[in-house]
Amino acid sequence: MRTSRIAVTAAAVVAGLSLSACGGDDGPANAGNASSSSSSTPAEGQTESAPAEQPEGGAGSPDEEAPDQGSAGQGSAGTGTKPERCHTDDLTITASDATVGGDETKTVAVTLLNKSGRECSIKGFAGVNLLSSEGAIPAARRDQKDDGTVLKSGEPTYFGIFYKANESGGSGVRIKGLVVTPPDEKKSVTLKWPGEPSLPVTDSPDPSVEIGPMGSVGQGG
């Protein structure tokens, strides 16, 4: 009987030890699984956030288009550039009688021909002096407006010189030549006077010689 009791007791102890060992294994295993599960969740989240890189590609696209937009703007600005004004050396300047019929007021037409090989702009009044036996006679400007014009290469424009001829029978004021300075220029040209040989001597305050702006007369008056 005693032997049987010892055997039963020993069996019970062994069974208890087996149960303790199984429970210990379950605890650490479950903890390890929980840790592994929680650490894998952020890793999956980072992988899913990859689409956040798309804005980088989107921002790069406008930058790549910018040079095309800029070059288009520069092209538009280039086409709107105004031509340089006509300088004295760009022009062939001549003068001719342009009086029509028996007009009391006589006219000389001055031609300014663009010989520069490029377009140039011209606007306003030329400087005009008649060289006479009494000295230089400056021409007064008529009250006329000029919007300006662009002369192509080989294209002319004209302005008029208006004066009254000497019909007194005396010598009057004899004209020796004509000095013309294009608008906004300092260099002048001296031409032969093609009009009547003399102007009347007068004490009138009215100017004896007047000029119009560029384009104030056509070819031949």
Examine the pLDDT at 121 and tell me if it is beyond 70. Answer: yes
Task: Indicate whether 61 and 126 sit together in one domain.
Answer: no
Among 79, 110, 126, identify where a domain stops.
79
Say if residue 110's pLDDT is above 50.
yes
Q: Is residue 221 part of a domain?
A: no
Maximum pairwise Cα distance, the chain:
182
Residue 189 lies in a domain: yes
Q: What angle is formed at CA 199 by the lines to CA 97 and CA 113, rounded to 5 degrees? A: 30
Matching residue, tokens 């300047």: 93
Answer whether residue 216 is part of any domain. no
CA-CA-CA-CA torsion sign (7, 13, 19, 24): negative
Question: Using alpha carbons only, what angle is made at residue 104 by residues 94 and 138, rounded to the nearest 5 degrees?
Answer: 50
Instruction: Tell me which residue range forms the domain holding 24.
Output: 2-79
Structural domain contains residue 217:
no
Q: pLDDT digit string (tens) for 133-187?
A: 889 999 999 999 888 999 999 999 999 999 998 887 788 899 999 999 999 999 9
Alpha carbon of residue 185 to chain centroid: 25
Judgement on whether residues 106 and 193 belong to the same structural domain of the protein: yes
φ, ψ at 81 (rounded to 5°): -70, 135
- The letter for the amino acid at 207 is P
Q: Average of pLDDT values for 67-84?
A: 50
* 10-57 residue pLDDT tens: 444 444 444 444 444 444 444 444 444 444 444 443 334 344 444 443
Q: Residue 196: which residues within 8 A CB-CB, separation 6 or more? A: 106, 163, 165, 166, 175
**Total domains, the chain:** 2
